[in-house]
Structure 1
Amino acid sequence: MPTQKNHSGVARLLHVHRTLGWPLVALLVIAVVLGGGGIRHGLTNLVVQLTALAVILFQPGMVRRFFSEAPLWLKVLVPLTILLPLLQLVPLPAGMWRGLPGREMAAETRDLIGAGDGWFPVTLDRARTLIALFALAAPLAVIFSAHGLKADWRRSALVLLVALAFLHFAFGVVQFAAGGDTLRLYETNDAGRFYGFFVGHIASGLFLVIGLCALIGLFASKRRTSLDLMLYPAGAALLVIGVVLSSSRSAIALLLLPGLWAAWLGWKELRRFSPRTRWLTLGGVITLLGAAALVMATNERLGATWERFESFEDSRPDIWEDTMVGIERYWPVGSGMGTFDEVFQVEESLETLPAKKAARAHNEYFEITLEAGIFGILLVVAWVAGLLYSAYRGLRTVQAPVTLAAALSLLCIALQALIYFPLRNMAVLCIAGLLVALLTAPVTIKRDRVIE
């Protein structure tokens, strides 16, 4: 019996492997380790995408199972999402293409080289839109693979998410300890921030928040032992430290969501004890939190993070204003998926030109609207509506803690998308695919009451 307990961690990881299958596990590991670099790192993105295509091609039956078992709304939205960039690549006759909004400058350029009468697609940059189309292979492979699983795989998926978050945290700690350029995966990283496997500190912090949501979901979905009451809070504390070290103000603010859930679960645990034990425990927790706050306030490295909250002035509002000009120019068709960086430079005002190239709208919704017009907006609304329905349905089942963990994680992504572009790197895109699969997996067992 003792031997079994000593190897419980290894046994759990082996169970995850058996439940999820090696193709899905391998894809997610490769996506997190190599897919955090964004569009500037095409080779590592290509590795993730080729892995995803291999997963789909060597398991053709899983696509068939997806379309037989997935909810109707998901079976409709997945093809429509693929169809959007695909249709933007279809060549149109010269007269029709010239009639599209915002094509005047491109038409004049093509007239100068004698190509004005040629057929051109809706997108203003075919290569970028083709890349955007291929990028969908990775999250779709995750969704297809998960929906093809027969066993109850939800808790195993949360275990995998937590394991990946701690792997990311451990790699980031080693980066911190090594210092300088040692072990940095991407050249754009700045010293003094927690990056791990990501090119940006904001995405790094977001991934740790998602890992924290998954950890709390695991805690809430099992019978807790005395050891759990020590190990889970300790693990959560490490992830919180990683979020703070990332210096991402949005990720730190998002800690409020899993924090409220954790506080509610903690209060439920305290209610099991006598009033004296309850108040002593509560006093101890408050003391520990106070000590942690004191350390964070006096630590020089952590102090740099808190200083970022003293001012919220940056170039984002100016970028958003210029993006709105671009949206009006290309409305309602859009400029083509993935083309923001190409078309935005025309709209960027010289008065508010930032020191660095904007490259992104720093608002996922604005960027989608500029690139896909009204069709992109309708797709986003449809996805949100479908996921809200699936979350509501899942919260009424015995898998409610897992559903809540996935829903909170997707909410964190959706909120950070207001000021960032979380879905523009392969790692978060694949994790989002897993979260969608968690919310939309078939459920049959109803709860007698709503989750507490």
Structure 2
Amino acid sequence: MQSLKPQYFQIDVFFSSMVLCAVAILVGGGGVGAAIPNLVVQLASLAWFALFPGGIRQLTVLRKYTGLLILISVTFLVVICQLVPLPAEIWHSLPGRNVAQSALKLVGMDGQAMPFSLDRNRTFIALLSLLPPLALLTIVLKMRWRDIERLMMALVGLGLLNFIIGGVQLVSAQRLLSFYPGAVASHLYGSFANHNSAGLFFVLVICMYLGFANHPSISSRRVIASVAVLILFGSAVILTQSRSATALLILPIVGVLFDVVLRGRGGRGRGEVGDYTARSLVMAAIVLVGCIAFASQNGKVAQTVQRFYLQDEIRPRVWGDTVHAIERFWPMGSGTGTFADVFQLDESLENVLPKTAGRAHNDYLEIALETGGAGIAIMAGWAGWCLVTLLRASRGAAARQGFAAGLGLCCIALQSIVDYPLRNQAMLCLFAILLGLLARAGAARVDQVSGSVCVKSGSSLPIKRRKPDSRLAPPR
């Protein structure tokens, strides 16, 4: 008689993923300035490790994904090593420590052992911020494909909830449901403190819908649903007035057109393909004309367009000063999370503003400053792993899901050039979910001979030959 324990286990996995995702997105969008909300998200992940059946042992699933396990281990190891106290002689020889050494000399602490990081508290907080994404990554790697699909649709629902919250914020000029200080009355934030992160979140929602909306065949319903999701969340992106997120909309738009038009060829005759393609193009043209007409008469859209004019743009000046700071601490770095403390050493006087630059507005430069050559090598490793896994997924049984995950990761990587999307818990967790989806898609294949679904990661897992279970197969 078949045991019911695995079935209960899967239900627990899905429920815990729902809870963690909801907590991360609704509470964890505040960034470094929201200490208590971040703590709530981290405690929720620790509760999962402590209370979930198997707890910390669930991390053993990473052994099936060797490349992913290596990259995660190295990422954690770099941050942990920055907290280890070093003898004074070694610490003094590290690049960029001369100013801190002079300050320590004034208070008689020059000879004490010091950690590698110039701000151990911020580095420790950065280490804790990796726990929620690690928990969600583990959950996604353990879930059935059917539950993954349900999770993606739940994230679309959270996107709709964010849109509703943002609508209330706009109507009330940020007097209602504005969770973080400093909000601009004309920007839509939802549950995020940064309108760029809010815009990127809506872009990722479109990508998730694109990959996991389970319509068995192309139909008018599917076309209408895809266009409706694109218009709804595309409008939300524009209302955030985020230039980077608005520019990134082109990627899911192309993805939706690819999904609606090109996938309509499956199972159709030549005449049907031509008729369907023509109808789809006519519908797309009507939608495009309607959107242009709406945009030309809408003040919010005009405000978003005006923000693309780079007058008095401060980012290039911050990037230039960040490069000088990187040279000061190269090749070791200053410690994860220390940008706000060390950047001021190299900030040019002509670039000084009333507000302190808390971020480099380029995650790649900021990581290079904080972790040096090791951080650059880790970024290159992650990029290489994503590319190889995406290519593998494109030839497998979950190509559509792999494409959606890769598209979302690409959006995050592109916005990181001009902003810092991964500096809040919510986006870190979404990043981990996309990594898990890409890993699953890259390892999924359908064994046509035995009729069973196999998962490969280096070597095939042992699997019984039995009647195929549609719950385990990736949705087509």
Say whether the fold is shared (TM-score over 0.5): yes
Aligned to 2:468: none
In the other structure, the counterpart of 1:373 is 372
Q: 1:158, CA displacement in angstroms?
A: 2.2
Say whether residues 1:38 and 2:31 are aligned partners.
yes
Q: Which moved more, 1:116-125 or 1:384-393?
A: 384-393
Residue in 2 that maps onto 1:227: 221
> Match for 1:91 among 85, 89, 92?
85
Question: How many Å separate the matches in 2 of 1:300 and 1:352?
Answer: 32
Alignment pair present for 1:161 and 2:155: yes
* Partner of residue 429, structure 1: 428
Q: What is the distance in 1 between the residues matched to 2:276 and 2:92?
A: 75
Give 2:192's aligned residue.
198
Aligned to 1:118: 112
Structure-to-structure mapping, 1:133-148, within 5 angstroms: 133-148=127-142
Classify 1:238/1:35 alpha carbon distance in 2 versus 1 (closer, same or farther; 3 Å): same
1:274 Cα shift?
A: 6.9
> Which letter does structure 1 place at the counterpart of 2:439?
T
Cα pair 2:18 2:151 within 8 Å, conserved: no
Which residue of structure 2 lines up, in the alignment, with residue 217 of structure 1? 211
Deviation at 1:344, TM superposition (A): 0.6
SS in 2 for 1:310: coil
Cα offset for 1:268?
A: 2.7
The answer as to 2:390 corresponding to 1:391 is: yes
Conservation of the 8 A alpha-carbon contact between 1:124 and 1:339: yes
User: Contact 2:31/2:423 (CA < 8 Å) preserved in 1?
Assistant: yes
Aligned to 1:14: none
Is 1:20–1:157's contact at 8 Å kept on the other side of the alignment?
no
1:212, 1:258 within 8 Å by CA — same for their partners in 2?
A: yes
- The answer to whether the Cα contact below 8 Å between 1:398 and 1:446 also exists between their aligned partners in 2 is no
Task: Report the aligned-residue RMSD.
Answer: 2.3
Provide the residue aligned with 1:127 in structure 2. 121
Q: Give the aligned partner of residue 357 of structure 1.
A: 356
Report if the CA contact (8 A) 2:389-2:439 is conserved: yes
Query: Residue 13 of structure 1 aligns with which residue?
Result: none
Matched length: 434
Shift of 1:333: 0.9
**Segment drifting more, 270-279 vs 199-208:** 270-279
Give the 3 Å change call, closer, same or farther, for CA 180–82 of structure 1 in structure 2. closer
In the TM superposition, what are the counterparts of 1:306-345 in structure 2 within 5 Å?
A: 306-311=305-310, 313-345=312-344
Q: 1:221 to 1:146 in 2, by over 3 A?
A: same
Contact kept? 2:223, 2:260, Cα under 8 Å: no
Which stretch has the larger CA shift, 261-270 or 27-36? Answer: 261-270
**Match of 1:51?**
44
Matched, 1:70 2:61: no
Larger displacement relative to structure 2 (381-390 or 238-247): 381-390
Note the alpha carbon deviations across 1:169-219, whole angstroms, 9 max, x for none.
Answer: 122122223334211011121011111111111101000000011111134
Alignment of 1:161-310 (within 5 A): 161-219=155-213, 222-268=216-262, 273=272, 275=274, 279=278, 282-310=281-309
1:70–1:147 Cα contact (<8 Å) kept:
no
Task: For residues 316-362 of structure 1, give each alpha carbon's deviation from its aligned partner in whole angstroms, at most 9, with x where no partner exists.
Answer: 11111111111111111110000000111111111112343210000
Distance 1:280-1:405 versus aligned 2 partners, 3 A rule:
closer
Quote the Cα distance in structure 1 between the aligned partners of 2:105 and 2:273. Answer: 82
Instruction: Tell me the secondary structure at the aligned position of residue 67 of structure 2.
Output: helix
Q: CA deviation at 1:395?
A: 1.6
The Cα of 1:235 is off from its aligned counterpart by 2.0
Looking at structure 1, the residues matched to 292 and 365 of structure 2 have their Cα atoms a distance apart, in angstroms, of 37
Q: In 2 relative to 1, CA 253–19 (structure 1 residues): closer, same or farther, beyond 3 Å?
A: farther
Amino acid at match of 1:354: L
**Identity, % of aligned positions:** 35
Secondary structure of the residue aligned to 1:444 is strand
Q: CA deviation at 1:98?
A: 0.4
Describe the superposition over 1:374-406 as per-residue Cα deviations: whole angstroms up to 9, x where unpaired: 111111111111121211111212211111111
The aligned counterpart of 1:444 is 445
Superposed CA offset, 1:246-278 (max 9, x none): 111111111111111112223236665475675
Q: Does the 8 A contact of 1:330 with 1:373 survive in 2?
A: yes
Scaled by the length of structure 2, the TM-score of the pair is 0.86
Q: Which runs of 5+ in 1 are unaligned?
A: 1-16
Q: Look up the match of 1:61.
A: 54
| C-alpha distance 276-159 of structure 1, shift in aligned 2 (>3 A) | closer
Partners of 2:20 and 2:145 in 1: CA distance: 19
